[in-house]
Amino acid sequence: MNILKLLITVIFLINFYSSDLKAKNLGTEITKNLRCLICQGQSVYDSDSEFANSLKILVEKKLDDGLNEKQIYDYLKNKYGDWILYDPGFNKNTYFLWLLPILMFVFGGAIILRKVILKKKKL
Amino acid sequence: MRTKIFPIFLIITFSITFYVFYKGLQNSNIYTPEIKSEIKIPSFEAKEFFSKDTINSDQIFIGSEFYLLNIWASWCIPCKEEHKYLMDLSKKENIKIIGQNYKDNFVNAKNFLIKLDNPYDLIFSDNDGTIAIEWGAYGVPESFLIKNNQIIKKIIGPLNEKLFSEIKELTQ
């Protein structure tokens, strides 16, 4: 009986702890994905500038207001443009960025394939 | 033939790389994204600077008058430089200057205004800097020219002679 009680307490505590952890992590997760516009090269999470500190408070406020991650990103994108996100969306300004690796992959693949075919022909 | 192409290709590649990096040395490494103009002003609630009464943004920006929202702080050195332009603008009839006191100490801010004079028609406090983010601002000083609840010009950094005359022209 005692073991059962202990088990229930432990499970309860773990649940309680993990739910709190989750809520805290979302704010951190979001600020890690935001670029600090004052101290470029740092995320808002890493930065201690006035701008970044305000943004951290704002993200927490928005989360309390019930906005989800995407809504917060959209909200900030609307204010500061794509540049604030570390993960830029696919649009006419960024298609080169997104397609370049694929292009290089296809191009490189074609070269390798040609070499292989040529080698086989020689054999 | 093959042996000749390779060195030429190498030299061209190196010279292009050199050129690109050499050019890049002169570029500013601070990137400011394109500023979207003609956007609607945000709505927010703030505390009036002196009376500490809560005011709503739509009580501040009324009608079709010109408003200049200026984000300032007593600890901000460039704010002192632009102060004379704000004083000049405050003498104009058709423009109202609204101050947003950014992350400041009340006593210091008050002393700042006593010492340099007060150009603002109204000041509200932004103690945690979240209202500045609502405006899409980066820091202090920053100014927004507003008409009909639309931001018609955004100025990052202190006002200078050129920007001052530009504002004058826009508000003619």
Residue B48 lies in a domain: yes
Are A35 and A81 in the same domain?
yes
**Would you say residue B129 lies in a domain?**
yes
CB proximity B156 to A under 8 Å? no
Residue B21 lies in a domain: no
Residues A49 and A107 in one domain: no
Same domain, A21 and A49: yes
Instruction: Tell me the shortest Cα–Cα distance from B150 to chain A, in angstroms.
Output: 14
Same domain for A53 and A63, yes or no, is yes
Q: What is the mean pLDDT of each run of 10 residues along chain B (172 residues)?
A: 81 93 76 62 90 91 90 93 92 91 94 93 92 89 90 88 90 84
Residues A103 and A70 in one domain: no
Contact status of A34 with chain B (Cβ, < 8 Å): no
Per-residue pLDDT, A22: 60
Q: Residue A39 belongs to what domain range?
A: 2-89
State the pLDDT at residue A16: 72
Domain count, chain A: 2
- Give CA–CA dist B156/B22, Å, rounded: 29
Which structural domain range is residue B77 located in? 39-170
- The structural domain count of chain B equals 1
Chain B interface disruption, residue of A54, A63, A76, A86, most B CBs within 10 A: A54
Instruction: List the CATH number of the domain containing B138.
Output: 3.40.30.10
Instruction: Determine if the peptide bond prior to B141 is cis (ω within 30°).
Output: yes
User: Does A50 share its domain with A107?
Assistant: no
Contact B132/B53 with Cβ under 8 angstroms?
no
pLDDT at B35: 57
Structural domain includes residue B138: yes
Which stretches in chain A have pLDDT values below 50? none
Q: Determine, yes or no, domain membership for B46.
A: yes
Residue B147: strand pairing partners: B66, B150
- Residue B23: enclosing H or E segment and its boundaries? helix B2-26
Is the pTM higher than 0.80? The answer reads no
CATH number of the CATH domain containing A67: 1.10.8.640
* The predicted structure's pLDDT at residue B28: 66
A48 contact residues in B (CB cutoff 8 A): none
- Residue A11 sits in the same domain as residue A60: yes
In a domain, B127, yes or no: yes
In chain B, the residue whose alpha carbon lies closest to the alpha carbon of A38 is B138
What distance in Å separates the CA atoms of residue B53 and residue A40, rounded to the nearest whole number? Answer: 37
Q: Do B73 and B140 meet the contact criterion of CB atoms below 8 Å apart?
A: yes
Contact B129 A54 (CB under 8 A): yes
* Interchain contact, B103 vs A50, CB within 8 Å: yes
Angle at A107 between CA A101 and CA A111, to 5 degrees: 140
Q: Tens digit of pLDDT for each residue in A62-90? A: 999 998 888 999 888 888 888 888 876 67
A31 shares a domain with A67? yes
The predicted pLDDT at position A24 comes to: 64
* Cβ within 8 Å, pair A51-B134: no
- A14 & A56 share domain: yes
Rg over CA atoms, chain B: 23
- Inter-residue contact A21 to B92 (CB < 8 Å): no
Q: Is A63 on the interface with B (CB under 8 A)?
A: no
Residue B97 lies in a domain: yes
Q: Give a yes or no: residue B12 inside a domain.
A: no
Instruction: Identify whether residues A19 and A30 lie together within a single domain.
Output: yes
